[in-house]
Each structure stands twice: as structure tokens, then as C-alpha cells.
Structure 1
Amino acid sequence: MKNIFHSIYHQLALSTFVLLFSAVSVVAQSTKVKGTVTDTRTKEPLPYVTVVFAGSTQGVSTDAQGKFSISTTGNFTQIKVSFVGYKTALKTVEPGKEQTINIMLTEDTHMLNEVVLKGNKKTKYRNKGNPAVELIRKVIAHKDQNRVESYDYTEYRQYERMNFYLSNLSEKFKNKRIFKNYQFLFQQQDSAAIGGKNLLPIYMEEKLSDNYYRKVPFAKKQVIEANKQVKYDENFVDNQGLSVYFNRMYQDIDIYDNNISILSNQLLSPIADHAPDFYKFFITDTLKDQSPQLIELSFTPRNTNDLLFEGKLYVTMDGNYAVENARLTANKNINLNFVRQLQATLEFEKNPDGKYHLSQSDLKMDFGLNKNKGGGIYGERKVILNNFVVNTPQPKQTYDGPEQVIASNSENKDDQYWKVRRPDTLAIAQASIYKNMDSLQTIPSFKRTMNLVTLFVAGYKNFGPFEMGPVNTFYSFNPVEGFRARLGGRTTTALSKRYYFETYGAYGTKDQRAKYFLSSTYSLNNKSIYSFPQNYVRASFQHDTKIPGQELQFVQEDNFLLSFKRGENDMWLYNNIFRLDYVHEFSSHFSYNVGLKKWDQSPAGALYFKDLVKNRLTNVNLVQTTELSFELRYAPHEKFYQGKLYRIPIIDRYPIFTLRYNQGIKNLLGGDYNYQNITGNITKRFYLSQLGFTDVSAEGSYIFGKLPFPLMDIHHANQTYSLQLQSYNLMNFQEFVSDHYASINIDHNFNGFLFNKLPLIKKLKLREMIDFKGLWGGVRSQNNPANDPSLLRFPINGQGVPTTYTLNNGPYMEGSVGIGNIFKLIRIDLVKRFSYLDHPDAPEWGIRTLVKFDF
């Protein structure tokens, strides 16, 4: 560079230029100040204190430990430190240098005197007459006009990036032999930042999309132009499901909504309609040099254990009362599991009409089993909106179709594409994460670790094109089979994405009979059968035992833990079931299923099928049916994680509708009965803000035709000691049958709303639940064996006492109260049965346990 200047200027001119440049560069150099703000008297750190360069709007807030870090390229010589209840402090800084300045704030006795009564007792915080509450009520009153939805049309470009790291890693962990040649994987940052000093990136995803909104008729559409994601071996991880799960945890934050979804929980917004009932508000600063002028409004929960934020809002004083900036954090006492720190920053830009729209959001969370120390996981989701256009309608076809459309080549964009279109610059460690994760997966020790995790968590041992499992079914026991050994497995996508085979073999030492299962699936859309949307044909045959009336969700029937059951449990079936199914899902989350089922069932154990022939009871050893089925299902916006065994739904507020029709056909493949069965089900979660959430499931069914009790609806009972939310936990197996019924299941989780307010108890972070199940039904006279001798008799036990009944004498009802979040994993319910207590072995009370991972 110097040679160029020598060729143009004389030496004197060059010397003068260098002197001038040096003087300017001192001013232009970055000034960085960091430090800790504490209370002069108590020496305790002060969180959420405002630190700004005096004479500017460039500022930050201290974190939960009172630490701050602020930088500028401007020529500022002071920082101003302010907090409600304290005297504002001014500290001199040296421009162009990095420096550490610790500040001690002194209580403002004049301000404190305003809230001190006689006897030196502080008054309670009150909403009445509080200017901060009056201001927040104005913000609430202007919410509708400040929402993006107030426009008839909007469109914008959206970039979002999600990163996950192993966080707070010790130097000892970092220097383990496994990472000797892979130190480049680690990322270092300020130890005071969220996540700690040492981070190990494990996941990153980027999306670039165009978004369109129309008020009338309502339409909201996202067109994803580009998508880039760290990919793991599909034998270990469902990459698509992982993306869905992370996006569910880190949802968009709309501060104008009454509730903000975080980690599948809903936290009350500080500008919710009833926010003043749950938050305390304080005016902590006025930024007069802003245009428009801003009021800094600090807020904190009235109860620090509740699902509430704390932080600051910057409100415009131009008559719009809009939020120009928001900083949201969570108190360390909040009833959120595993969350060490939470921090969300929202920035809004002004539109030409004076309203504001969200321009950037940044949500950071650090998780750990121990909230104070040890390694954990740190995640961040950053969203940037630009090219914001209002009230410019697009052609009708722009808004038509599904809410989300993914371009066919969205995953094929190269690095140059992202470099040009990415609206911010990636850190070096972030830019290399895709390549680094590919390298990590080639390390033999990493592969061994993933194999062990898959074995213990999912229950499968991978052998490339084939995997063996699940291990929790290798051994179980029951009264009919005695000790039951089982071994099975299935193919993986390493063999084929289109063809999929599954099998197992089992043997009971008591009945000395072999059981087996075989299935073959063919994907019709050139995707794995696990990929959404599914489109496949499956044929299967099963020769095995079954408990009538047992219906399990997300667990195998011969899971070892389910071997432990209460009461008599010796009425079983031997089944031969051939199935042929065609499943077709659509991107709109509508699906249908067409099936053929040939079912031969024989009684086993203490169960007998008997009919009355010539006034004599005769054993019937086989009941044969052949039925066609058709099922419609609509689950709008459904998200799920595809595990090794089940597709596990990520529950949201949207309802799920299911309608099934079954047609039994006599003389088709040996079927003995003609009948029709129609069943409808609606399931939905209702979020009730600070009162928690309620899961409701309503179902109804009607069977047309004459048929024996094994073909009626045998209601789902549970004789294990586990709590099953979709079964009747104090009903005995095969206790009730119906040819028509209606049911409702209600499970409400208060999310700690009550326990959070009890001294001492609130420290345990427990959560309270209530549950109710009601079942109305009956058997029409034509299907009651008491009226028709040709029908199979209802079963009786060894003492000749009936064990199967109808619901003609009223509904079956049970309810429970539970305590959840015990050790962050366990829910224990005390269950009471309210009706049909005169039945043999009918328990009135019971204790049931559920192990469930929740945030």
C-alpha cells in the first residue's frame, strides 16, 4: 500500500496524510467496555441494569450475574449506568481501548422515601396509580393496531438460523484423547456469555424464505427457497424430525400474542391483556434523544416460579405505543426444566406509515441437568426479516395452496449462494460446522458412541442394512406363556429406501408354542417409509398372543416392564392376523388408509368361547372375520419426531380428526360375520395461559349388525401399574364390551400454577394434574347373549362369576389427581373409580406412575 502512495504523492504530502489518518484512526477504533454492576451496600450483582454510552442510544443490560459488555466505534467518553431505585452513575471511558470498569450503584434514598410508610415499612407494589402500569395498559390497548395482521397484505423475506452446541465444556473434556486431532471443532467465547467459554457445535440449520399474508380471506404462506442442515446418519437420527423438534422448541416470538410458546410451554407475554395481574412494571429510563422518544419499561414476575418473563420493553411515545425493542429473560426460579438461561431480543423497524414491524429476533437458551455447573446444550435461533412490503396484493395463486411450500431444489444451494444471500455474516466456527460435522461422523469412537446411544435409548443395535431389537422385548413373562423370549429386527435405509422388512420370533416356556411376525413394506414415493408424507403398501402376518382390550401407545405389548400387572390377568387370545394396508399422506396433513384384515382368534389361558347349542354349552375354538377398512385423518400443522419404533407427535394447539369405517364380510376368506363399524375421534390441546393446558379426546362408535362379544368394542383397560392416558386405569381387561359408545378423556396440567405459590413446596418445581375419563355405551338386545342363545356367552371366572359386562347401567367413570415433574421425569397419580364398584376385583383406588420427559 505504501508503494502506491509513493508513486502518487511527494514524501511531505504522504507524511502529512499519515499523521492525519493516525489521528482519525484513534477515534475510529472500537471502544469496548466490560464489567460488573453491584449494589454498594450488599455487594450483590444487579441484573438487568441499563448501561449506555452517554449521549447515545447504544446500550445493553447486565445479565443475571450483573455482567455487561458494550462496544462502539463512536467518540464517546462516558458510560451511563441506571436502574430503578438507584442513583444513576457516570463513568469515564477511554475511546479506542478495551477496558474493564466495575460499577457500584447506591440506592436513591429520595426515590425510596416515596415508597416508605411510617415505621420504615415499604408499601406493597400496586397497580393503582402506577405510571408504569398506566403506560403498559396503553401498549395493550394499541396492540391490534401495531400487529402485522392490522395490514390487509404484507410480504417479506425471512432468513433464520438455528445453532446447537454442547456447552459449558471443561478444559479436561476438550482435551480428551478422542478430540486430540479435532480441536478445530471447538468454539471459544467470553466465559460470561450464555453457554460458557468452550462450545462444541453439533447442529446448524438455515432457511431462506418468502412470506405472504392476506387478511381477507385469511391466507398465510411461506415459500422456502433454500434450506441447509447438518445431516446425521439416518440409522441413528431422524434428521427431518430433529429439525421439526428444534423448531417446535424455538418457535417464532410474537410479543403481541397473549402467550408466547417456549419449549412446548406457554409464557405470558408482558403485554398480554392481563399482564398487570401477573407482572410488576417500572419506568426505568427515558431515551429522549431517540426519534420517537422511548420509555424504558422494566418488568418482573410477581411470582418468580411462574411461567413468566422478566426484562425490558422500549415503548414509543409517538401515540402508537408500539414496542420498538424488547429484551426477555427468565428468572432462575422459573418452573422450566433443565433451562439454565433464557434470553430473547426483539428488534422492530418503523414502516413509512409510522407503524413498526419485527425486523430481527434472537432467542438463546442454555440447558443442563445441573443448573449451576457441568456440561449442557446451548441453542440459538436467529431470525432476520427484510424487504418488508405492506398493502401490496399479489396474484391470487400466490396465497393458494398449503401454508408452507418447499422448493424442489431448496437443499441444493451451494456455498456461494448462501454467502451472497445470507443477510448477516457467519462466525468462522459457524461457517465450518457443516463440514466439521461430516468429519466428526467419520471418527470411529463417535460411531461407537452413537451405536450405544441408539441401543440404550431406541433399543436397536445397528448392523448396517439390518438392525436388531428392540431390546426391552427380548424377555418378558405372563400367566399364559410363562417366560417369553423374543428376538427380532428389521432392515434399514442402508439396504433400501423403498423396501422395508421386519420380523420377530418368540417362544413361551409355559405354553410351549412359537410365535412370529413378518411384514414387508414398499414405498411408492421413492422416500423412506419414515419420511413425511408417507405413501406405501404394507403386507404383514402375525401369529401371536394378545390381551383383549389392551391398547398401548408408543410402547411394545411385550415390553418387560408391562409384565407386572395387578389382579387376574389370565384371559388371553391366540391370533392369526393377516393385513394388507395402503397408506397415503398429503403435505396438507390429510391422509387416508385402506386396509384388508383377515383375523382368526382363539381363546387362551382362562378365556373360553362358549355358545348354547341344544341347551348345552359348547366350546368354540375359533372366531374368524374378514373386514375391509377405510380411515380418514386430518391433523392440520401436525409435527412429529420419527423414532425407531413410533412416530411421536409433538403436541400443539391444533385438533386432530379421525374417521374410521370397518366392513365385515361374511364368506370372504372364511369370514363368519357381516357388520359395519363407524368410529369418530377428535383430539385437541387447549392452552389456558397461566392455568396450564388441557388435553381433550372425544370418541364415538356404532356397530351395525349381529355379532359376538369378541368382535364388539372391548374397551381399553389397563392392569399395569403405569399410568396410561388413553386407557381406563382401574378397569380390568375385557371388563366392558359395547356395540355403541361415546367417551371423553380430559387431562389437565396446571404446570405448577398452584404449587408455585406454596412456601417450600415451590422450590421442588412440582406440577399438579387432574384427569377425568367417562365412558357411555351399551349392547343392543340383538347382540346380548342373554337374549340370543346363538351368541357367544360373556366370559366367567373359575368361580362362575361373570367378568365381562355391558354399560347399560350407566357410564363408567374414573378420575385422578397427580403430582408431576418429580425428579423432572416422574408423574404419580392417585386414581379413583366412581362406578361399577360391585364388579369382582374392581379396585376403587389405585396409584399409577408415568415417566415422561418435559421441559
Structure 2
Amino acid sequence: MKNKITFLLLFLLVSVFSWGQTKVSGKITDQNNQDVPFASVYFKNSTDGVIANEYGKFYLESTKTYDVLIVSFVGYKTLEIPLASKTNLDLKITLEDDNTLDEVKIYAGKTSKKNNPALDILRKIWERKRKNGLYMFSQYEYDKYEKVEFDLNTIDSAYQKKKLFKGMEFIFAQVDTNRITGKTYLPIFINENIGQVYGDNTNGKKIEKTLGNKNSGFDTNQHIIEFIKDLYVEYNIYNNYIRLFDKDFVSPLSRTGINVYNYVLADSAFIDNKWCYNIVYYPRRKGELTFKGDFWVNDSTFAIKKINMEASKDANINWVKEMYIEQEFDVLNDSVFLLTKDHFMSDFALSKREKSKGVYGKRTSIYKHHKFDIEHPSEFYQKNVNAYDDKVYKRDEDFWKTYRFESLSKDELGIYKMLDTLKTVPKFKFLFDLSSTVASNYYNIDKYKFDFGPIFSTFGYNDIEGLRLRAGGRTYFGPNDKWRLEGYGAYGLKDNQFKYGISAKVLLHNDSRLILFGGNRRDIEQIGVSLTETTDVLGRSFASNSLFASGDNTKLTKINLTTVGIEIEPVKNLKFSTAFNYRTLKPASDLFNLNYYVDKENNIISNETKQSEFNLTAEYTPKRKTIGYGVDRTDVDSKYLRMFLKYTQGFKGVLDSDFEYQKIQFYARKPMLLGGFGTLTPTFEVGKTFGEVPLGLLSVVPGNQSWFNIQNTFANLNYYEFVTDQYASLHLEHNFGGRLFSRIPWLRDFNLREIVGIRGIYGKISQENINLNASDITYKAPSDPYYEYYIGVGNIFKIFRIDFSWRGNYLDMPDARRFAVRGSFGIYF
């Protein structure tokens, strides 16, 4: 998520043509000068309208010319306002109480759940929702045109004169007014995509094949393309929950909508020769993930003809000030309504204040040429593992003129030309490079095809090395490189020793992602901080990141790891790998040792472990989305199931190796969004080592002596407090997403999020491994399952989370920490 927000900030740094002929805005109050929220505002004799916001403010624009505006809300007299001109802004509208309500209208405020005709219609929508549209057919296919645009908004003359834009003033020639909000905006990015969608309702399969994709100013940058796709995922308004920005919003058509929305039957009219009812809805409570708006529904099929949705401003979501959805449906025949146009707009901003500047993100999807009941074999729906067609991103103008379902406006066409010019401006290039460095953690030196970094690993500290300085980099010709060399060097100012790591990998076969890899690392590491280890030679070094540690931090190990292996992905998101590793482990100082008995009877002890091993791994990650088609890929998001199985065979005598053993480990993790109840994330790990091995090769229960949250570690345990050769661990965490705090008035405005969790582990250690131990660590396994529990408060100042953790048992162990506080930083919606 950090990368998502960073990209938005990038747009701020670089930071639709309006055809409207009638524009009107204003504020609605009652006779006591109190705001009238959620009033219905529309042009007379039209279906062009909006719902006022929580403060009675509205903006309405139409491509047609109208001379009368109608404002209505239950409990008040309907008001007709003559429009003197095509543009009427900042109107002050006062509604009068109505004591003679129409029989179909409900009293203002919280509407009744009884004798409400709007709810009768809603129940009929529920009955028919699986019988409308694409769900009526066994198979379906259609063409899809999608346009995504980002605009810098709230542009005024003072903003245009900022020094930031000196030398780039020409970009402001594109400034216009948004038809939904009435705010000025400057288009800064546009992406177009042409695709063909195929679906099979009988087996639940769906696939989209891209024919063409075009970016303004960014060419074939898949990072931006995939970021956009993830930001604007598809949704179905008929579902109970609509997932947007990793949040589950309650749909106004949800079966649970009665509990969170007020519904009012407001009007009825013919739309495309179909008699339709108009229902206005708005939230019952503040602070929940809900919408306000209205929809038109057919009186016989009870299919939605048109719907408008605006997220509540006080919804518990970060960085999004406003969010709008408009969908239109066409009639295929008397009973089939199909989605033909979907418009989504969000206003990204650092603050939700009315005048705060931000970035509009707009997606318009148009669906045409529907076909039904054309069956395809199951292999047709199989997604390619690593297919990349460069031609898709380099289509000529003739292609786009043929396949665009609606023409670009003059201003939208101007974005392409503006960005081409902007890329030649040195100041823009500097700002773009700066933002890219922050987002990627690497500084690109294009002249030498080299990335310097990771930038944020330059400095570290631990008790053995003292202040640690690190510098490294990687080859970088582009995001789809077939091969990559990567390395680093580090130096500790206290131990005066040089460390390094180097790795290489090459993509041998594109379609199956057959990759050969290898490398070597000599460094200082805090082993025993993860049950399921990695043999990535350039993986994270916990020793060098302990700048803020608590307690004794001297149990560090010198590691010399060499690995060579191969991996393959024969089916998308199913990966196998095999590798041969050789490593030596020695204590990093005299303050700690890994000693084991070579000959216990004669008291012969070794302080160094030499081990060669062979491992096989299988990793399954369904629904994982990645960026890039080369040897390296980046995850778009982390909310997918990950299952990991690893088998390790240790060899004695190979390269002077010390031990023969086998180890098997399994790991599974899956964040689950539970509708409006938040996200539950279970993590399960289990493993067993067969054979006699010393401390350096055992499974140490991972403690956490830093002040920060580290995934799958125990906050109340110290390093090496428990040692096992077989274990089973379960971690359950539930993030309510602010559902509870939103019910408390004095807490509601802070948008805090409540987290609860429990983690536990069961393990054993064999007597043979206990007898082998000659270190200063006394082996103890959690044969009575160890557990700890915690509560947390997230979204503090939008970026910080703090957890309070309590130890559940083993309270009498030496230096047992009964209570721990851990924090973490993160940028989330």
C-alpha cells in the first residue's frame, strides 16, 4: 500500500474536457438555517440529478440546457428554482417544512422499516438480482474499453504561480471544471485499455485478454498500469459489499442495507420506454463505510437502470476525500438489463478539508458487443504464467480510432501531447526521478544501467557491529530484465569488519518462468527470528535493522551462505524450486556461542557449524497479482492466500559438512475481508526436524526484542527463549477497521482502527538434541503451548499503529516479559 500512496504523491508532483451547458451549485438549509443533508437536486423534466452531501452542498452539471432546478427532500416542500443563466453557482436554497406529505413519502431523518414502499421495492431487487444481466446466461463475452485519468484538482491562480511550476507553466492550458464537483482540475495522466472479456457462469471462470494499452508519457510502464488496475478493481453493485481500496463498503442494494441506510421512494418516470422508480438512500449513522445517492429501478424486472453512489465524507478511509460511482444499464430485451457504462471518480488528498488540494482519479468503463452462450474449453480460461506482448503497449493511432468506444475530448488528447513536452523539461525530470527513488527504494543511474540501493538500508546498528554502513545496487535495464546482478558491501564501525553479499539470476524460459539463481553472503545475522527460513542470500538482515532494540542484542551469528538453484512456475501462481546450499555458522562475538559436543565423553566441543543441504520447495499463491515479466516481479498487493512447503535434506561429509538430517516445514497465511466486520488474518506454521542437529540448525521460536512489530514473531519473547525440533504455531489477528470506534462519538472523528490478536506455539525438543547442546543456551520447548494476546490501535495520524501485548503463560521463566509495547508505521487506505 505504501507504493500506492507514493505513486499518488508522484502525480501531485507532476501535477475532462467539460461539455456541460448547464452548471449549478449551492447549499441547502431549512428555515432555522440548519443544513439539510441528502436532499434530491435535479433538473426539471430530466433524470440528471445529484444528492446533496452531509452539509447540504451540491454541484450539478448537464450536457443539455435546462432552465428550472428542482430541490426536494422528505419532510419539506418541493422547491422549483428558475435558472437565469447556464451557470448558476453558490445558490442559497431554503426549504420549508411540509405538513402535508404525499402518501408515498417517509418522514425525514431515520426512515421507518415498516410500511415503507422503498423497502418493498428493495426486497424485490434482492429476489431478482441473480436473474438479471450476465447471470442469466451460461456463458458471456463482450468488448471492454477502459479509460483511467488522473487530474490535479482545486487549481487556482495562486497555485499556478508556485515556484514548483516555474518553467512548466504551459501545463495549465489544460485546466477545466469537473462536471461532478465543480472544482477546477488539470489532467496529468491518462491510460486507455482495450480488452475482451469471457466468462462462464457454470464453472465460475472469467478471463480478460488485452488487445491494446496506452499511457500518456509512461509508455510500457507495467508498474503504473498494474497500480491502476489494483486501485480500481471491478465491483458488482448487487453484491452485499463493494470492495474499494481494500475496504468493504455496504452496497445500497445489500440485504443488510436496511440496517445502515435510510431509503425513500422519491419519484417515478419513463426511462428508455421503461417505467422506473427512483429511490433515494443515505446512511443511518456517521463513520461507517456507506454511500449516499439514488437509483432508478424497473417496475417489472426490478433491475437497476441507473445508480449514483457517493461515499460518505466521514467514512473511515484514508487519503480519499470524495468518491463517486455512476452506472448505467441498457435493456437487451424485456427482461435483460446489462451494464453498459461505469464511471468511478475518487479525490485523493492528504486532508478531507473542503479546500484541500488533491488528485482526481477517474475510471470510465464502457461495455459493448455482448454475446451469450458460446462455450469455450476449460483451457481457454487458463491464465498465462508470464505472457508479455510488447505490441499491446505500442498500438498505432489507427488501432485506437477503430477500437475506442467513445472519442477522447480535446483536453484528453492534449494530455498525451502535454506529457511528451513535459518530459523534456529538466525540472520535471528531476521531480520524477526523486519520486521514483522514494517509491522504489533505489536511485536509478540510467547512463550505467544501474540502481543504487536499497536507500533505506544504508544505516543500521547492533551491539556487535555498532553503527553499520551499507551500500549496494543492482543492474537495471528495465522492469522486464531477463537477468540481474545484485550485491552490497557493509562495514561495522565497532567490530571493524567488512561484510558483503552478491547474487545473480537469469530467466531461462519465459513461458514457464524457469530461473537459474545463485549467490554468496558473508555477514552478521540474528538467526532464530523466523520459523520458516529463507535461503535468499540478500534477504533481510535483522541484525542490521535493530536500531531500536530492547534487552540483550548480542546473540548474533556470523554466517557464510552459498546457494545455487533453479525455480519454475509451470502453472500460474504455482512455483517449485530446488537449491543446494552450503553455510557455516559461528558466533559473532565472545558474548554468545553455538557450541555443540563433537565427543561428549572426551569433552570435545566445536563452535562452528558447517552444513551442506539440498532443499525442495513448493509455493502456491492463488489470486496473486504481480508486476513485471522479467526475472524479478513485484506483488501488487498482499491479500492473497500463500501456502509454502519446504523439504530440506542435510548431508554429512559433503564439503566437510557436519550433520545428516531431514526437515519439513509448512506455512500458510490468508487475509480475509469479512464484509463490514473487518479483516481476519490467520497464519499457521508447522515443522519437524529428523536427526540430531546443533543450535544453529534447530527451529528457534522467534522472539522480538525490537520496539517494532515484526510479522510472525512473539512480542513477549526474547531471542532463544524457546528452542524446538518440532513445532506448530497459530497466529490470529482481526482488524475491525474502525467499526467499533465509529460508534463512539468522541472517538469517531479520529478514524482509529481497533485490532485484536492472539498467537501461540506448541513444540518439543528431543533428548538427543539436548545432549548435543554445549552452548550457553538452556534448551526449553513450549511443550505446554505458549501463548500471548494483544490489542492494538491503528491509523494514528493515518500512519502509526501501536500494540499492547500480554504474555499468557510461562511467567516464571528468567527475564520473562509480562507486557510489551510494539509499534509500526504504514500507509493504508
TM-score (norm 2): 0.88
Partner residue in 2 for 1:66 = 57
Paired position in structure 2 for 1:104: 93
The SS at the match of 1:669 is helix
Higher relative contact order (CA 8 A, sep 6+): 2
Choose 256-265 or 734-743, whichever is displaced more: 734-743
Shift of 1:734: 2.0
Instruction: Give 1:835's aligned residue.
Output: 809
1:242–1:584 CA distance, 2 compared to 1 (3 A): farther
CA distance in 2, matches of 1:40, 1:834: 57
Q: Distance in 1 between matches of 2:306 and 2:763?
A: 56
> What whole-Å deviation, never above 9, does each CA across 1:649-676 have from its counterpart, x for those lacking one?
4446542222212111222222222222
- Answer yes or no: is the 8 Å Cα contact 2:388–2:629 preserved in 1: no
Whether the aligned pair in 1 keeps the contact of 2:526 and 2:556 (CA below 8 Å) is: yes
Shift of 1:43: 4.9
2:329 corresponds to 1:348: yes
Residue number in structure 2 paired with 1:638: 624
Q: 1:260 aligns with which of 224, 238, 242?
A: 242
Q: Could you tell me which amino acid in structure 2 is paired with residue 109 of structure 1? A: D
Greater shift, 663-672 or 593-602, is seen at: 663-672
For residues 480 and 306 of structure 2, what CA distance do their matches in structure 1 show? 51
Find the counterpart in structure 2 of residue 588 from structure 1. 572
Which residue of the partner structure matches residue 607 of structure 1?
Answer: 592
1:460 aligns with 2:451: no
Map residues 203-352 of structure 1 onto 2, 5 A cutoff: 203-230=189-216, 232=218, 239-288=221-270, 291-318=273-300, 320-352=301-333
The Cα offsets for residues 337-389 of structure 1, whole Å up to 9 and x where unpaired, read as 12111110011111225121211111100011122233322101111111122
| Structure 1 match to 2:780 | 805
What's the offset of the Cα at 1:56? 4.0
State the match for 2:143 in structure 1: 157
Unaligned runs of 5+ in 1: 1-28, 527-531, 786-790, 797-801
Whole-Å separation in 2 of the counterparts to 1:287 and 1:673: 82
SS of equivalent to 1:449:
helix
When structure 1 is superposed on structure 2, of 682-691 and 643-652 the one drifting more is 643-652
Question: 2:472: which partner in 1?
Answer: 488
1:818 aligned to which of 773, 776, 792: 792
Corresponding residue of 1:539: 518
Name the structure 2 match of 1:518. 502
Aligned-residue offset at 1:648 = 5.9
Is residue 2:674 matched to residue 1:688? yes
Letter in 2 for 1:505: G
Are residue 196 (structure 1) and residue 187 (structure 2) matched?
A: no
The answer to whether residue 25 in structure 2 is matched with residue 41 in structure 1 is no
Give the TM-score of the pair, scaled to structure 1.
0.86
Cα distance in 2 between the residues matched to 1:228 and 1:344 = 24
Query: Aligned equivalents of 2:303 and 2:668: distance in 1?
Result: 39
Distance across 1 between alignment mates of 2:140 and 2:729: 44
**Displacement of 1:263:** 0.8
Cα distance in 2 between the residues matched to 1:587 and 1:103: 62
- Which protein is bigger by CA-based radius of gyration? 1
Describe the shift of the 1:594–1:168 C-alpha distance in structure 2 as closer, same or farther (beyond 3 A). Answer: farther
Deviation at 1:40, TM superposition (A): 4.8
CA–CA distance in structure 2, aligned partners of residues 832 and 741 of structure 1: 22
Q: 1:367 to 1:644 in 2, by over 3 A?
A: farther
User: Which whole-Å CA distance do the structure 2 matches of 1:192 and 1:353 have between them?
Assistant: 33
Counterpart Cα distance in 2 of 1:371 and 1:671: 62
CA contact (8 A) 1:483 1:509 kept: yes
Q: CA deviation at 1:614?
A: 5.1
Q: Is the CA contact (8 Å cut-off) linking 2:468 and 2:544 kept in structure 1?
A: no
**Deviation digits for residues 410-442 of structure 1 (CA, Å, limit 9, x no counterpart):** 223112211221011212232233343343233
Q: Aligned letter for 1:816?
A: Y
| 2:820 aligned residue | 846
Q: 1:534 to 1:398 in 2, by over 3 A?
A: closer
Alpha-carbon shift at residue 725 of structure 1 (Å) = 2.8
The 8 Å contact of residues 86 and 105 in structure 1, kept in 2 or not, is answered as no
Partner-residue secondary structure (3-state), 2:248: strand
Q: In structure 2, what residue type is equivalent to 1:823?
A: F
Q: Following the alignment from structure 2 to structure 1, what is the Cα–Cα distance between the partners of residues 559 and 310?
A: 56
RMSD of aligned Cα (Å): 3.3
| Residues 773-832 of structure 1: CA deviation (Å, up to 9, x unaligned) | 1111212333332xxxxx233533xxxxx3x42222x11211110000000010001011
- Aligned pairs (5 A) from 1:749-768: 749-768=735-754
Contact 1:589–1:635 at 8 Å: present in 2 too? Answer: yes
- 1:660 counterpart residue number: 646
Per-residue deviation, residues 552-574 of structure 1 (Å, max 9, x unmatched): 99994268762221111211111
- 2:467 pairs with 1:479: no
Instruction: Give 1:47 shift.
Output: 5.5
**Which moves more between the two structures, 625-634 or 36-45?**
36-45
- 1:646-725 correspondence to structure 2 within 5 Å: 649-651=635-637, 654-725=640-711
Say whether the 8 Å CA contact 1:147–1:256 is kept in structure 2.
Answer: no
Aligned residue for 1:447, secondary structure, equals: helix
- Partners of 1:289 and 1:501 lie apart in 2 by 62
In the aligned structure 1, how far is the partner of 2:238 from the partner of 2:227? 24
SS at structure 1 position matched to 2:702: coil
- Give the equivalent residue in structure 2 for 1:508: 492
Secondary structure of the 2:333 match is coil
In the comparison of the two structures, how many residue pairs are matched?
Answer: 797
Tell me which amino acid in the other structure corresponds to 1:84. Answer: V
Map of 1:19 onto structure 2: none
CA contact (8 A) 1:185 1:436 kept: yes
Report the Cα offset of residue 198 of structure 1.
3.4
- The farther-off stretch of 608-617 and 738-747 is 608-617
CA contact (8 A) 1:48 1:63 kept: yes
Q: Give the secondary-structure state (helix, strand or coil) at the position aligned to 1:571.
A: coil
Task: Determine if contact 2:626/2:636 at 8 Å carries over to the other structure.
Answer: yes
Mapped to 1, the partners of 2:478 and 2:232 lie a distance apart of 32
Q: Distance in 1 between matches of 2:297 and 2:523?
A: 67
Give the secondary-structure state (helix, strand or coil) at the position aligned to 2:285.
coil
1:394 aligns with 2:375: yes
Superimposed CA distance per residue, residues 160-208 of structure 1 (whole angstroms, 9 cap, x where no aligned partner): 111122332343332345645544433322267548313241x322211
* 2:5 alignment partner in structure 1: none
Identity level (%): 26
Q: Distance in 2 between matches of 1:494 and 1:398?
A: 32
Q: Which moved more, 1:754-763 or 1:275-284?
A: 275-284
Amino acid of the structure 2 residue aligned with 1:352: N
- Distance in 2, Cα, partners of 1:143 & 1:90: 36
Q: Secondary structure at the match of 1:719?
A: coil
SS of 2:567's equivalent in the other structure is strand
Matched, 1:550 2:525: no
The 3 A distance-change label for structure 1 pair 744 and 253 is same
Aligned 8 A contact 1:293 1:316 in 2 = yes
Match of 1:360 among 304, 321, 341: 341
> Please, which of 733, 747, 771 is the counterpart of residue 719 of structure 2?
733
Alpha-carbon contact 2:804-2:819 (below 8 Å) kept: yes
8 Å CA contact retained: 1:115, 1:122? no
- 8 Å contact from structure 1 (residues 195, 366) kept in 2: no
Q: Is the 8 A contact 1:698 1:742 kept in 2?
A: yes
Of 97-106 and 283-292, more deviation after overlay is shown by 97-106
Task: Give the residue type in structure 1 aligned to 2:302.
Answer: Y
* Separation of aligned partners in 1, 2:87 and 2:426: 45
1:634–1:502: structure 2 CA closer, same or farther, 3 Å change rule? same
Structure 2 distance, partners of 1:498, 1:649, is: 18
Contact conserved, 2:596 with 2:775, CA < 8 A, in 1?
no
Residue equivalent to 2:16:
none
Per-residue CA deviations over 1:432-461 (Å, capped at 9, x if unaligned) read 333433432332222322343345554433
Unaligned runs of 5+ in 2: 1-18
Q: Deviations over 1:500-538 (max 9, x none)?
A: 222222222333322111222223357xxxxx9854322
Distance 1:287 1:43, change over 3 A: farther
Q: Which segment drifts farther, 250-259 or 490-499?
A: 490-499
